[in-house]
Amino acid sequence: MTVRRIRFTDREPAQADILEEVLSGLLSPKKRLPPKLFYDKRGSELFEAICETPEYYPTRTEIGILRDYAAEIAETIGRNCILVEPGSGNSQKVQLLLETLRPAVYMPMDISKDHLKTSVQALGATFPWLHVHAMCVDYSAGLEPVEPPPVSGASKKVVFFPGSTIGNFEPGDALAFLRRVASLVGPGGGLLIGVDLKKDPTVLHQAYNDAQGLTREFNLNMLHRINAELDADFDPGRFYHYAFYNPRESRIEMHLISRGAQEIHLAGAVLRFADGESVHTENSYKYTVEEFRKLARTAGFRVGSHWLDDGKLFSIHYFDL
Ligand code: AVI
């Protein structure tokens, strides 16, 4: 059977959907904005730069685990799977597995179209044998439309979800997402997932308050984006970045705090901010290995293997069904 080696499906969300989410978040009594709005072109670049900072340990720690255990992970999963990666970004981490895992097809999914196209081209050049079916899609809205191209010899479906992105879901949503993954991969399928671990809050605080101010810029970029795409009149200089670890909730919280009382205009609405009022932009939940295994079990997975770094900062789990 012959297939095109690289395919692209475009299901980029409409601007109207973004406006509705932004408006409903900013009109609610506790103002919030959805973290997926971080990832326009600039936001994705900033996130990549954050991952390089000395303070943001998750990326390099997870990469270290993938490097150290790539052979063991590939052996646990087995060859020729259909590898689906929701929120694939620059597909950097999967590259550490591709040679050993040799999937029949790799299906990256990302909301940022330009970013996705660039990374798929780069992947095609580095791994000329690899079949890629990329999808520009908001995976948080559902995973159901994932249909792999007809590639012969494919075994099971495996979802790769690195980076502790699961930590950005509320616990109930994390469970719902894991259940959706379980129904997507079906019996025999699996989930390889990176999860940030609970640790000394000082380490966590520094990771979300880097000295270069990149996390601050990343957080404020959301306002620049809303101005550019939805024609709002935020002055980002009149908000500051506030990130802290909330131990009772086991999460980092990121907020944008209004400097002074102000009014913002957006799509005919007037949004009033009190001095010091917060817009909650992100939560990043941290788990123990046991807590996460329990969550995966509740979602229907069998508890499988996990791998840690020496400092026990980060975990990678493989669960199957
Ligand atoms: C993508 N996600 C797992 C990151 C995190 O750590 O929660 C996003 C991030 N926010 C600030 N720095 C990084």
pLDDT confidence of residue 8:
73
Compute the distance from residue 53 Cα to the ligand 1 centre, in Å: 13
Q: Which of 53, 222, 246, 284 maximizes ligand 1 atoms within 8 Å of its Cβ, making it the mutation to test the pocket?
A: 284
Nearest to 23 by CA among 258, 191, 267, 291: 267
Compute the distance from residue 308 Cα to the ligand 1 centre, in Å: 19
State the 10-residue block means of pLDDT for the chain, 321 residues long: 64 76 96 93 92 98 98 96 92 95 94 84 92 87 65 86 96 96 94 98 98 98 97 98 98 98 96 98 98 98 95 98 94
Compute the distance from residue 170 Cα to the ligand 1 centre, in Å: 14
Tokens representing 171 are 């616990």
> What span, in angstroms and rounded, lies between the C-alpha atoms of 272 and 26?
9
Q: Which atom of ligand 1 is nearest to the CA of 243?
A: 11
Q: How do residues 243-257 score in pLDDT, each as one tens digit?
A: 999 999 999 999 999
Residue nearest to atom 3 of ligand 1 (CA): 165
Q: Which residues lie below 8 Å from residue 136, measured CB to CB, with a gap of 6+?
A: 8, 9, 10, 11, 12, 109, 110, 111, 112, 113, 116
The complex's ipTM works out to 0.99
pLDDT confidence of residue 7:
77
Compute the distance from residue 3 Cα to the ligand 1 centre, in Å: 36
Residue nearest to atom 7 of ligand 1 (CA): 284
Q: Which atom of ligand 1 is nearest to the CA of 58?
A: 6
Indicate the pTM of the whole model: 0.92
| Ligand 1 proximal residues by C-beta, below 6 Å | 50, 58, 163-165, 167-168, 208, 215, 282, 284
pLDDT confidence of residue 2:
39
Residues 30 and 274: beta-carbon distance below 8 Å: no
> What span, in angstroms and rounded, lies between the C-alpha atoms of 83 and 152?
14
pLDDT confidence of residue 148:
66
pLDDT confidence of residue 132:
93
Alpha helices per DSSP H over 154-230: 171-185, 201-207, 214-230
